[in-house]
A and B are shown apart, each in its own frame.
Chain A
Amino acid sequence: MRLLIAYLVGLVFGAGISLSGMANPAKVLNFFDVAGTWDPSLAFVMGGAVVVAFIGYRLVLKRPAPLIGARFQIPENPRIDTRLLGGSALFGVGWGIAGFCPGGALPALGTGRVEVFVFVAALIGGILVAKGLMAASGARAAEAARQGK
């Protein structure tokens, strides 16, 4: 049941990403290229997604618990630190170079385009290296991160 629900949620997400243009690097990069071939479409993607999620979350989170599972698992770390901002800044540089973000690229795998597989392979490589670096940065940093979580 859990797996079927997860599949269907992924399907809705993937269809939304595909329709919206987030799976299309040309469109994504043009959103950021105000000084060039500007295409403001992605503002509508973000707007539509945030408004629906804002209203929906408010309704859903009134419940004591989700339909399956004991509790809502929501990040509660309030800290805005170097790790968050530095990581996000680096993510933006990569996004600006490649035109794919993770949520855009994963559904785009379904189109079978070789470029998407190249990007996702590098993405996984980056995740593994970062996880390795984080683990290697020692017990003290790990402890600090856990307390930060």
Chain B
Amino acid sequence: MPEMTAIETVFTPWQSLAGGALIGAAAVLLMLTLGRIMGATGILAGIVVPASRSEAGWRLALLAGMISGPLAVLAVTGRMPSVEVPVSLPMLLVGGFLVGIGVTYGSGCTSGHGVCGMARLSRRSIAATLTFMLTTAATVYVVRHLLGA
């Protein structure tokens, strides 16, 4: 029996489109107000390894807002957004560590490169996004269909 079983999820085009539009709106708002790229990697790294106190401050406030996001959804819809994890804790540790190394060397992740960079038509971000989408798909295929997890 596989250790990690794939969980079926329901196709939610409208809800995902609305969520995506909010993500895009947040990126635009941050550029309009503070003039910054809305990248989760840069925001977290700027808190963990702060360049200065003022640089860490707005990032901490933004992180607090992010964490309040699911609670806002709970308040409006009456349901906590679902987090289903078909992955064991050791694999979450391995995956998280690799993500941390990768986004630091790659200077960004799905939000910074995938949303903000693509929206700016940055060649660097398009190259990064194509690369990680490809290796993510390949990894999922290997884990689920070759290793049979």
A119 to B88, CA, bound (A): 11
A27 to B62, CA, bound (A): 25
Residues of B close to A3: CB separation below 8 A: 57-58, 61
A36 to B58, CA, bound (A): 41
Residues of A close to B22: CB separation below 8 A: 12-13, 15-16, 19-20
A122 at the interface (CB under 8 A from B): yes
Asked if A97 and B139 sit within 8 Å, CB to CB, the answer is yes
Residues of B close to A99: CB separation below 8 A: 85-87, 95
Minimum distance in angstroms from B35 CB to a CB of chain A: 3
A22, A54, A88, A89: the one contacting B113 at CB < 8 Å is A88
A107-B69 in contact given A13-B38, A45-B20, A98-B87 (Cβ < 8 Å): yes
Residues of B close to A47: CB separation below 8 A: 17, 20
A38 to B104, CA, bound (A): 29
Which of A4, A29, A57, A84: most chain B Cβ within 10 A?
A: A29
Proximity string of chain B (26-56) to chain A, C-beta cutoff 8 Å, 1 when within and 0 when not: 1111111111111111011100110000000
**Chain B, residue nearest A82 (CB):** B105
**Chain A, residue nearest B26 (CB):** A13
Asked if B83 and A116 sit within 8 Å, CB to CB, the answer is yes
A102-B111 in contact given A46-B20, A122-B96 (Cβ < 8 Å): yes
Asked if B16 and A42 sit within 8 Å, CB to CB, the answer is yes
**Chain B, residue nearest A57 (CB):** B119
A140 at the interface (CB under 8 A from B): no
Asked if B110 and A101 sit within 8 Å, CB to CB, the answer is yes
Residues of A close to B114: CB separation below 8 A: 46, 50
Minimum distance in angstroms from A49 CB to a CB of chain B: 4
A10, A36, A49: the one contacting B65 at CB < 8 Å is A10
Asked if A56 and B95 sit within 8 Å, CB to CB, the answer is no
Asked if B31 and A11 sit within 8 Å, CB to CB, the answer is no
Asked if B48 and A128 sit within 8 Å, CB to CB, the answer is yes
Residues of B close to A30: CB separation below 8 A: 6-9
Asked if A71 and B16 sit within 8 Å, CB to CB, the answer is no
**B interface, CB within 8 angstroms of A:** 6-41, 43-45, 48-49, 57-59, 61-73, 80-87, 89, 91-107, 109-111, 113-120, 122-124, 127-129, 131-145
Kindly list 6 other residue pairs between chains A and B, CB separation below 8 angstroms, not including A53-B24, A130-B100.
A4-B61, A8-B65, A14-B72, A19-B22, A72-B35, A102-B110
A-B contact pairs, 17 of them (CB 8 A): A3-B57, A3-B58, A6-B61, A6-B65, A15-B72, A17-B66, A22-B19, A33-B140, A48-B24, A80-B124, A92-B135, A94-B96, A102-B111, A106-B43, A106-B44, A127-B103, A130-B101
